[in-house]
Amino acid sequence: MTKALRFQLYQPTAHFRDFRFSQDNYLGTLPLPTPTTVIGMLAYLCDERFDEELQVAISGLSVAKETHFLRGEIGTFWKEYQTFLKREKLTDGTDSRNYRHFKDNIVGNRIMHVEVLRELELTIYITGSDETLQRVHQHLLHPQRYLSLGRKEDFAMLGKIDRSSGTSKFVPVEPVLLDVKTKPGMPLLELLQQKIKLDKCYLPVSDTTSDKILDAGPIFRLAHTYRDIKSEKIDREYQIKNYVYLDEGLYPENQTLAYCNYHGQNEYFVWM
């Protein structure tokens, strides 16, 4: 038995870069954030760099996916503008002639199409040392920084949307520390009897994963941790794993499951 921190997030809008479909003018989104995206949000919230590997489990559901149109510049505008001024030996960066020349003839404008998830609700579990879980728990209970996941403009709130009464009302949900147990792989009949089904989540896959699971949804290659978590951010390398996204759900035959009791109900998930 181990301890894990459970929290729920609601995002009115969200975008998690899907590099499979990312082009100069079109940016696709993943259905859920990656583990490193979640860890990055928590590290920013706690104002620290975790020196241990945290395990993450993520499930979630969005109401819709839209395409937004954004106007922007080609390239990193300000940094490249400073380089342009130095190269041309121009000392006055505020001179409108220099600025207009750079903007119109060198950088230019572009229209970007960005996939955006609407009304995303996430349930996230993380586990690590007791000290780290306690710190993260306290920072979630009493946040001192702006909470966002993915893009900075996609703010997040600790809670969920209550639709039980026919209306959509946001309800705060406090993060909690829970005991997590593991359950060894079970045959399909036992999963059906116990009504154990994974849905709207990533499931790790490998060379030994059955075709039934591989055919259950799209396959993604996602960053799940850093190769050297103690290195500086600029020098970090991602460790990549393959996952299938279970959109319509699956009875996970012969898969080791983690579970905990939350408000009298067992919640099942798989560490990523």
Where are the domains positioned within the chain? 2-71+112-269
In tens, the pLDDT along 167-208 reads: 889 999 999 999 999 999 999 999 999 999 999 999 999 888
Q: Is-contact 142 103, C-beta < 8 A?
A: no
Which residue has better confidence, 77 or 253?
A: 253
For 141-187, the DSSP string reads HS--S--BSSSTTSB-EEEEEE-TTSS-EEEE---EEEEEEEE----
Q: Give the model's pLDDT for residue 15.
A: 95
* Single-letter amino acid code for the residue at 268: Y
User: If you count them, how many residues does the chain have?
Assistant: 272
Distance CA 51, CA 126 (A): 15
**H helix runs in the chain, sequence order:** 35-46, 77-87, 96-101, 130-141, 188-194, 211-214
In tens, the pLDDT along 4-51 reads: 999 999 999 999 988 776 666 788 899 999 999 999 999 999 998 888
Which residue has better confidence, 83 or 54?
A: 54
Least confident window among 69-78, 115-124, 149-158:
69-78
Q: Is-contact 60 118, C-beta < 8 A?
A: no
For the segment 225-243, the average pLDDT, to the nearest whole number, is 72
Burial class (CB in 10 A: 0-12, 13-18, 19+), 47: exposed
Q: Is-contact 43 50, C-beta < 8 A?
A: yes
Q: Give the model's pLDDT for residue 209.
A: 86
Residue 73 has pLDDT above 60, yes or no: no
Q: Give the model's pLDDT for residue 228.
A: 66
Q: Which CATH number fits domain 2-71+112-269: 3.30.70.2660, 3.40.50.10260, 3.40.718.10, 3.30.830.10?
A: 3.30.70.2660
